Amino acid sequence: MSQLHDLTVAQLAAKLRSRQVSAVEAARHFLARGARHEALGAYLATNEEVTLGQAEAADRQLEAGSAGPLTGVPIAHKDIFVTRDFPTTAGSRMLEGYLSPFDATVVSRLSQAGMVTLGKLNCDEYAMGSSNENSAFKPVKNPWDTSRIPGGSSGGSAVAVAARLAPAATGTDTGGSIRQPASFTGITGIKPTYGRASRYGMIAFASSLDQAGPMARTAEDCALLLSAICGPDPDRDSTSLDVPAEDFSRSLDASIEGLRIGVPREFFGAGLADDVRAVIDAALQQYQKLGARLVEISLPRTELSIPVYYIIAPAEASSNLSRFDGVKFGHRARQYGDLLEMYKQTREEGFGDEVKRRIMIGTYVLSHGYYDAYYLQAQKIRRMIADDFRQAFTQCDVIAGPVAPTVAWKIGEKSDDPVANYLADIFTLPASLAGLPGMSLPAGSGAGDMPVGLQLIGNYFGEAKLLNAAHRFQQATDFHLRKPEGF
Ligand code: GLN
């Protein structure tokens, strides 16, 4: 029999329902694995008492026969979601020790579905980063090669799933933070259409881009989790869309015969590493074998997505992060003169370098005289990027390409070079700027035997189709079953 931690969410849920394993056993098993592999740096907080309490409640439901499809399955949350029972830091010194009085909507929905919270997962500070090296507390190591980064900003989430410390995790994706770490660690993750998942209780980075989503090992698991996460939250998030919750599992098995897969020319340019290109080419061939048709398309403003994103995201961040002034949340400087000095000193001590860099860039591009030249211009190009997708989706049903130009790089390799980090986001930023759903699924390995993810981008509200295409691929391949040695 396969070990408990090798089971997918769907498999574990079935075992829980048939009472072959109890929720308490499952929770204990994963807590023990988390502790054993602490050196990976995935967890920032756990609380055995809380976790086991939730597991006992799940067992009572399972016993009573009132369990749902996720009851008793453990999950861990990116530390960007506020939680009542665990401290929330957003990977920042600013919020060290902060306890929220409420749970984020995503967290409470998964808890209501009976999932058991294992703890909080490491991430880049305020989700700003692509390598998890911007966590104020510790880096996260990639279990496929612990000298490498796991990707970011949801690096802890990706590693918890890849190293089997949790069957699933939540992540957030502003410009690629679910898809890129999923790609770098060989797992499956999906960012839904902007507005599908409530942002209530998700510590804000760039509000017009931030979106939550699940990270797990299979598309089937992601569909189960996404169905529980999504749905309107009108009283708490004004950008949550009035689109009813869906069962994203409904069409997993549908045939993809005749599916038109758009292959954007600009995703295969000179910047794409050969090893990644070979994996993506092979994945596209696999799709042809499954009956899909490849259509060459163009997303002409792909390159512009980098400057556009790195104007808009910092602009919104500079505004969102103004709330961390030492008055209401978390850290306050001990030594200061007047009030202004208290603000300054608190922010100097509480924020890391990358966060400060973005606050400064954001403040600059929003300031009088520069607003028109930078921010407004970026907004216009953002609209054009969305129009390019609209045009592309007249020719195809889904879009496929690489998630990132390379496999995961070495820890430290780009840590002194913010622009090198920004450039690596080129293939995930376009869908974020357009608000489209996107996912990453394991497609093979590249240099150093490191995992490579295939990115699928869907039209607005096309999540079920994306998950269907991903599931069919996983039925025909075994890349998602590979696991790092020793885990
Ligand atoms: N890497 C991108 C950034 O640093 C995206 C991060 C994210 O999606 N949260 O902003």
- Sequence length of the chain is 487
Pocket test for ligand 1, best of 124, 174, 355, 356 (most atoms within 8 A of CB): 174
- Ligand 1: which atom is nearest the Cα of residue 128? 4
Express each pLDDT in 53-82 by its tens digit: 999 999 999 999 999 999 999 999 999 999
- Ligand 1: which atom is nearest the Cα of residue 127? 9
Q: Compute CA distances 355 → 130, 203, 234, 320, whole Å.
A: 13, 14, 30, 12
Dihedral angle of Cα 20, 22, 23, 26, to the nearest 10 degrees: -70
- Ligand 1: which atom is nearest the Cα of residue 421? 1
Give the 3-state secondary structure of residue 453: strand
Domain count, the chain: 1
Q: What is the pLDDT of residue 229?
A: 98
Whole-number Å distance, alpha carbon 69 to ligand 1 midpoint, is: 32
Catalytic annotation present for 318:
no
Residue nearest to atom 10 of ligand 1 (CA): 128
Whether residue 302 lies inside any domain: the answer is: no
Of the candidates 92, 111, 131, 153, the residue annotated as catalytic is 153
Our answer on whether the CB atom of 305 is closer than 6 Å to any ligand 1 atom is no
Give yes or no for residue 393 having a pLDDT over 80.
yes
Our answer on whether the CB atom of 326 is closer than 6 Å to any ligand 1 atom is no
Our answer on whether the CB atom of 176 is closer than 6 Å to any ligand 1 atom is yes
Give yes or no for residue 1 having a pLDDT over 50.
no
Residues ≥6 apart with Cβ < 8 Å to 108: none
Pocket test for ligand 1, best of 425, 432, 455 (most atoms within 8 A of CB): 425
- Ligand 1: which atom is nearest the Cα of residue 354? 4
- How far, in whole angstroms, is CA 35 from its chain's centroid? 23
The mean pLDDT value of the chain amounts to: 97
Q: What is the pLDDT of residue 2?
A: 66
Helix (H) or strand (E) holding 240: none
Our answer on whether the CB atom of 316 is closer than 6 Å to any ligand 1 atom is no
Whether residue 83 lies inside any domain: the answer is: yes
Can you tell me the distance from the alpha carbon of 259 to that of 456, in angstroms, rounded to the nearest whole number?
Answer: 13
* Beta partners for residue 74, in sequence order: 116
Angle, alpha carbons 472-473-475 (nearest 5°): 65
Our answer on whether the CB atom of 136 is closer than 6 Å to any ligand 1 atom is no
Q: What is the pLDDT of residue 401?
A: 98
Whole-number Å distance, alpha carbon 188 to ligand 1 midpoint, is: 18
Give yes or no for residue 395 having a pLDDT over 70.
yes
Our answer on whether the CB atom of 388 is closer than 6 Å to any ligand 1 atom is no
- What CATH number does residue 249 fall under? 3.90.1300.10
Count of C-beta atoms within a 10 Å radius of residue 395:
13
Task: Dig out the tokens for 1 from the structure.
Answer: 């029999």
Of the candidates 15, 22, 78, 240, the residue annotated as catalytic is 78
Burial of 380: CB neighbours in 10 Å, binned 0-12, 13-18, 19+: exposed
Express each pLDDT in 333-386 by its tens digit: 999 999 999 999 999 999 999 999 999 999 999 999 999 999 999 999 999 999
Count of C-beta atoms within a 10 Å radius of residue 323:
11
Our answer on whether the CB atom of 313 is closer than 6 Å to any ligand 1 atom is yes
Q: Compute CA distances 91 → 96, 316, 317, 368, whole Å.
A: 8, 19, 15, 32
Q: Compute CA distances 187 → 215, 424, 442, 466, 481, whole Å.
A: 7, 19, 6, 15, 9
- Ligand 1: which atom is nearest the Cα of residue 310? 10
Express each pLDDT in 167-196 by its tens digit: 999 999 999 999 999 999 999 999 999 999
Q: Establish whether the linkage from the previous residue to 445 is cis, with ω within 30° of 0.
A: no
Catalytic annotation present for 22:
no
Task: Dig out the tokens for 250 from the structure.
Answer: 């409904």
Whole-number Å distance, alpha carbon 175 to ligand 1 midpoint, is: 5
- Ligand 1: which atom is nearest the Cα of residue 209? 8
* Beta partners for residue 454, in sequence order: 402, 441
Whole-number Å distance, alpha carbon 7 to ligand 1 midpoint, is: 30
- Mean pLDDT along residues 260-277: 97
Q: Which domain holds residue 203?
A: 4-256
Can you tell me the distance from the alpha carbon of 360 to that of 402, in angstroms, rounded to the nearest whole number?
Answer: 31
Q: Compute CA distances 16 → 63, 109, 111, 114, whole Å.
A: 10, 20, 16, 12
Whether residue 155 lies inside any domain: the answer is: yes
Angle, alpha carbons 227-68-160 (nearest 5°): 65
* Beta partners for residue 211, in sequence order: 173
Express each pLDDT in 295-306 by its tens digit: 999 999 999 999
Our answer on whether the CB atom of 204 is closer than 6 Å to any ligand 1 atom is no
Whether residue 129 lies inside any domain: the answer is: yes
Catalytic annotation present for 78:
yes
Give yes or no for residue 245 having a pLDDT over 90.
no
Give the 3-state secondary structure of residue 336: coil
